[in-house]
């Protein structure tokens, strides 16, 4: 079983549509990160959220950390083909010794 559950697993949308990806857990994390990964490459960090309830914006991407620090969401506005990739959330537990990754959401944005 995954400590972090991501949904949906797959998402195929048209360019210009909005979407939200969810990352949920029953555990509390000291921080949570979102990554995007292209095929054959390592994950690239998009954002780190630390404070419960925190909202961060990165151009068309909006990230939110749940008040209880157990869940997070990624919202993309007006998706573009360049947003295509595997989106991963990863949570750090308080002792900083481990990062737990979700299984990822594979996003395909069609032109």
User: Which parts of this chain interact with other proteins (CB under 8 A)?
Assistant: 2, 6, 30-31, 33, 35, 40-45, 48, 50, 88, 90, 92, 95-104
Question: For residues 105 and 111, what is the distance between their CA atoms, to the nearest angstrom?
Answer: 19
Give 14 or 97: the residue with its C-beta nearer to other proteins. Answer: 97
Smallest separation, CB 64 to other proteins (Å):
16
3-state secondary structure of 81: helix
Element (H or E) spanning 108, and its range?
strand 105-110
Q: What does the block give as tokens for 38?
A: 């292209």
Give 38 or 67: the residue with its C-beta nearer to other proteins. Answer: 38
Q: How many CA atoms lie within 13 A of 94 on its CB side?
A: 4
Q: What does the block give as tokens for 2?
A: 């995954």
Smallest separation, CB 69 to other proteins (Å):
11
Give 61 or 90: the residue with its C-beta nearer to other proteins. Answer: 90
Question: For residues 84 and 23, what is the distance between their CA atoms, to the nearest angstrom?
Answer: 18
Smallest separation, CB 66 to other proteins (Å):
16
Give 69 or 109: the residue with its C-beta nearer to other proteins. Answer: 69
């Amino acid at each position: 079983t995954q400590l972090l559950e991501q949904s949906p697993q797959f998402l195929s949308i048209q360019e210009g549509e909005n979407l939200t990806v969810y990352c949920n857990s029953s555990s509390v994390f000291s921080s949570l990160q979102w990554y995007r990964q292209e095929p054959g490459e390592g994950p690239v960090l998009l954002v780190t959220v630390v404070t419960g309830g925190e909202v961060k914006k990165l151009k068309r991407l909006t990230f939110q950390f749940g008040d209880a620090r157990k869940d997070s969401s990624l919202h993309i506005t007006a998706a573009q083909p360049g947003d295509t990739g595997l989106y991963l959330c990863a949570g750090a537990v308080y002792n900083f010794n481990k990062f737990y990754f979700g299984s990822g959401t594979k996003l395909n944005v069609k032109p």
